[in-house]
Amino acid sequence: MNSSPKRDIFEARFSPFEHTCYEVFFDIKISDADDNLLEIELWINMGYLNHSGYHTGFRFTVTLYEFRKFTDGLRSEFDSIIASLG
């Protein structure tokens, strides 16, 4: 596979991430799409929610800046929930 040196540096910084929650309610896969872009795949187990047995999937591409902003927001929400429980 031929790739540019710039692409090799990017691949070395980011390896694909995949997570399935313990209860199998959702799966998320994050991989590099291009320089400064990430592809996110989110699969939701709709079968559990409506007993249909089907999964619904979404795929979208975001910039690193957008992804960091989103994860910072999630972290802030999570911290607020934890603080409210204590």
Q: Is 27 exposed, middle or buried (0-12, 13-18, 19+ CB in 10 A)?
A: middle
Residue 15 pLDDT level (bands cut at 50, 70, 90)? confident
Name the nearest CA neighbour of 10 among 28, 30, 29, 37: 37
Cβ–Cβ under 8 Å, residues 62 and 68: no
Domain ranges of the chain: 5-85
Return the CATH architecture of domain 5-85. Answer: Roll (3.10)
**pLDDT score of 57 more than 80:** yes
Please report the pLDDT score of residue 48 as a whole number. Answer: 67
Q: Would you give the distance in Å from CA 67 to the centre of its chain? A: 9
pTM above 0.75, yes or no: no
Greatest mean pLDDT range, 13-22, 53-62, 74-83: 74-83
**What are the pLDDT digits (tens) for 24-46?**
788 889 998 888 889 999 888 87
What integer is the mean pLDDT of 10-22?
73
Amino acid 40 reads I
Amino acid 26 reads F
